Structure 1
Amino acid sequence: MIQEKRQILQEYSNDLVFRLKDLHVNFDKYKFYPRDEKFNSAIFDSDKTEIFSTLQSNSINFEEVAYISNKKIHYIDKPESYYLGAKYIIVEIDDDRAWFKKVKNEMISFGLLAFIFMSIVGYFIAKLFLRPMRDSLHLLDRFIKDTTHELNTPISAIVTNIEMIDKNCLDEKTLKKINRIDIGAKTISNIYEDLTFLTLNNKIISQNEKLDLSKIARQRVEYFRSLARIKKIDFDLHIDEDVFLLCDVKKFSKLLDNLLSNAIKYNKVNGTIKLILIEQKLIVEDTGKGMSQENLENLFERYSRFDKSVGGFGIGLNIVYLIAKEYDLKINVTSKLKVGTRIEVSW
Structure 2
Amino acid sequence: MEFRYLGSSGLKISTVTYGNWLTHGSQVENDVAKQCVQAALDCGITTFDTADVYANTKAETVLGEALKGERRQSLEIFTKVYWPTGPAGPNDCGLSRKHIMESIDGSLSRLQTDYVDLYQAHRYDPDTPLEETMQAFADVVRAGKALYIGVSEWTAEQLRAGHALARELGIGLISSQPQYSMLWRVIEDEVIPASRELGVGQIVWSPIAQGVLSGKYLPGQQPPAGSRATDAKGGADMVQRFLNDDVLSRVQALKPIAEELELTMAQLAVAWVLQNDNVSAALVGASRPEQVQENVKAAGVRIADEAMKRIDQALGDVVVRDPAKTAENAPARRPS
TM-score range, shorter chain: under 0.3
Q: TM-score normalized by structure 2?
A: 0.21
Q: Between the two structures, name the one with larger relative contact order (CA 8 Å, sep ≥ 6).
A: 2
Bigger Cα Rg: 1
Q: TM-score normalized by structure 1?
A: 0.21
